[in-house]
């Protein structure tokens, strides 16, 4: 990367505190495709000049997949360890790159002693647009291009966030087309509830295929996502349908970064 990503440990050593902590998440840290999204979120933070930091190697799984799978022990072990780290750094505000981390830290950590202001990166982008700090200029033009947005369950139904990601797309002057099942009626990509880590039960179709077929019905140039798991499921679906050349699956952060030439 062209700039150094600051860690909490470094900031603390310098006697400084960040405005916001960027919680990267496991997918954002290790998954090759999601790493690109992570870097783009950093580029956006860097571009607008927000003082931010990441935990780096001190970050650890939020425990979300364990909790959805029913392993409350493992979840709470993870949660309490993380809360100890976050509280030690006196963290006040967190932006996450993943709706699952977002939901877990925002809703399930307070009961275990970790209360923070938590936002998802699409909300951060919306705020930056509203404050006039972020526009869509100096980069790739999305003007008039057809984009359909897939609502991640843990952002949409799980937490009622439907507008922020759409706002981030509206600013592009692109042509937003909604799928038949969208917003509160959106269809899951198939990865939630720890499904990401197992084979699906037997049925007549895979959920991500059903979803991608619906997305393709809108004849989009881009399918916009806001979750690394959705990204995997949708990309796999598009590949399976042999549409990789015509349709690109991009995260809202990637689209924003591209539109701003970051």
Query: Which parts of 172-231 interact with another protein (CB under 8 A)?
Result: 181, 184-188, 190-207, 209-211
Q: DSSP per residue over 114-182, as a string? A: ---EEEEHHHHHHHHHHTTS--S-SS---TT-EEEEPPPTTTTTTT---HHHHHHHHTTT-EE---SS-
Q: Would you state the structure tokens that stand for residue 116, as one six-digit string? A: 């923070």
Sequence-separated (6 or more) residues with CB below 8 Å from residue 184? 156, 157, 162
138-177: contacts with another protein (CB under 8 A): 153-154, 157-160
Give CA–CA dist 27/24, Å, rounded: 8
Q: Would you state the structure tokens that stand for residue 158, as one six-digit string? A: 């799980």
| Closer by beta carbon to another protein, 59 or else 136 | 59
> What 3-state DSSP class applies to 51?
coil
Q: Counting contacts by CB under 8 A, is residue 53 touching another protein?
A: no
Q: Counting contacts by CB under 8 A, is residue 13 touching another protein?
A: no
Q: Counting contacts by CB under 8 A, is residue 88 touching another protein?
A: no
Least distance CB 90 / another protein (angstroms): 20
| Closer by beta carbon to another protein, 153 or else 234 | 153
Q: Counting contacts by CB under 8 A, is residue 80 touching another protein?
A: yes
Size (the chain), residues = 262
| Closer by beta carbon to another protein, 48 or else 85 | 85
Among 43, 68, 120, 121, binds another protein (CB under 8 A): 68
Interface with another protein by CB under 8 A: which range of 1-9, 86-94, 140-148, 249-257? 1-9
């Amino acid at each position: 990367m062209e700039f150094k990503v600051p860690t909490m440990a470094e900031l603390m050593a310098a006697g400084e505190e960040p405005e916001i902590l960027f919680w990267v998440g496991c997918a954002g840290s290790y998954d090759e495709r999601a790493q690109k999204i992570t870097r783009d979120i950093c580029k956006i933070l860097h571009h607008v000049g927000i003082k931010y930091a990441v935990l780096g190697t001190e970050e650890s799984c939020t425990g979300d997949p364990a909790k959805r799978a029913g392993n409350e022990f493992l979840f709470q072990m993870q949660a309490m360890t993380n809360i100890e780290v976050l509280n030690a750094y006196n963290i006040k505000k967190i932006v996450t790159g993943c709706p699952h981390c977002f939901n877990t830290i925002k809703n399930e950590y307070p009961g275990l002693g970790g209360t923070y202001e938590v936002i998802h990166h699409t909300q951060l982008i919306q705020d930056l647009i509203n404050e006039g700090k972020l526009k869509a200029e100096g980069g790739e033009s999305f003007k008039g291009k057809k984009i359909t947005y897939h609502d991640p369950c843990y952002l949409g139904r799980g937490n009622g966030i439907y507008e922020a990601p759409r706002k981030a797309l509206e600013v592009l002057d692109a042509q937003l087309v909604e799928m038949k099942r969208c917003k509160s009626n959106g269809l899951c990509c198939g990865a939630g509830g720890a499904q990401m880590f197992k084979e699906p039960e037997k049925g007549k179709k895979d959920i991500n295929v059903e979803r991608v077929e619906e997305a393709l019905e809108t004849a989009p140039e881009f399918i916009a996502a806001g979750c690394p798991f959705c990204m995997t499921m949708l990309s796999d679906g598009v590949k399976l349908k042999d549409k990789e050349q015509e349709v690109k699956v991009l995260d809202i952060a990637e689209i924003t970064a591209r539109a701003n030439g970051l």
